[in-house]
Chains A and B, each alone.
Chain A
Amino acid sequence: EVQLVESGGGLVQPGRSLRLSCAASGFTFDDYAMHWVRQAPGKGLEWVSGIYWNSDYTGYADSVKGRFTISRDNAKNSLFLQMNSLRTEDTAFYYCVKPRHSSSSDFDYWGQGTLVTVSS
Chain B
Amino acid sequence: QSALTQPRSVSGPPGQSVTISCTGTSSDVGGYNYVSWYQQDPGKAPKVVIYDVTKRPSGVPDRFSGSKSGNTASLTISGLQAEDEADYYCCSYAGSYIWVFGGGTKLTVL
Residues of B within 8 A of A112 (CB): 45
Residues of A within 8 A of B93 (CB): 105
B24 CB, nearest partner CB in chain A, Å: 13
Please tell me which stretch of A7-15, A16-24, A45-53, A72-80 contacts chain B, meaning at least 4 of its Cβ atoms lie within 8 angstroms of it. Answer: A45-53
Residues of B within 8 A of A62 (CB): 1
Q: Give A34 to B52 CA distance when docked, in angstroms.
A: 18
Name the residue among A37, A52, A57 with the largest chain B CB count within 10 angstroms.
Answer: A37
Report whether B97 and A59 are in contact in the complex, using a CB–CB cutoff of 8 Å: yes
Residues 86-110 of B contacting A (Cβ, < 8 Å)? 87, 89, 91, 93, 96-104
Report whether B96 and A59 are in contact in the complex, using a CB–CB cutoff of 8 Å: yes
Q: A104-B51, A106-B48 are in contact. Are A47 and B97 (CB under 8 A)?
A: no
The answer to whether the Cβ of B38 comes within 8 Å of any Cβ in the partner chain is yes
Report whether B101 and A44 are in contact in the complex, using a CB–CB cutoff of 8 Å: yes
Q: Give A108 to B57 CA distance when docked, in angstroms.
A: 9
Report whether B36 and A105 are in contact in the complex, using a CB–CB cutoff of 8 Å: yes
Instruction: Count CB-based A-B contacts (< 8 Å).
Output: 68
Q: Which of A45, A52, A105 contacts B104 (CB 8 A)?
A: A45
Report whether B48 and A47 are in contact in the complex, using a CB–CB cutoff of 8 Å: no
Name the residue among A45, A50, A107 with the largest chain B CB count within 10 angstroms.
Answer: A45
Report whether B46 and A45 are in contact in the complex, using a CB–CB cutoff of 8 Å: yes
Q: Give A45 to B38 CA distance when docked, in angstroms.
A: 10
The answer to whether the Cβ of A110 comes within 8 Å of any Cβ in the partner chain is yes
Report whether B36 and A106 are in contact in the complex, using a CB–CB cutoff of 8 Å: yes
Report whether A110 and B46 are in contact in the complex, using a CB–CB cutoff of 8 Å: yes
Residues of A within 8 A of B3 (CB): 44, 46
Q: Give A95 to B51 CA distance when docked, in angstroms.
A: 19
Q: A50-B97, A106-B36 are in contact. Are A44 and B48 (CB under 8 A)?
A: no
Given contacts A44-B3, A44-B102, A106-B36, 10 further A-B contacts (CB under 8 A): A35-B99, A44-B89, A45-B38, A45-B46, A47-B101, A57-B97, A59-B97, A105-B52, A110-B45, A113-B45
Could you tell me which A residues sit within 8 Å of B by CB distance? 35, 37, 44-47, 50, 52, 57-62, 95, 100, 104-108, 110-113
Task: List the 3 shortest-distance A-B pairs measured between CB atoms, nearest first.
Answer: A59-B97, A106-B36, A106-B51
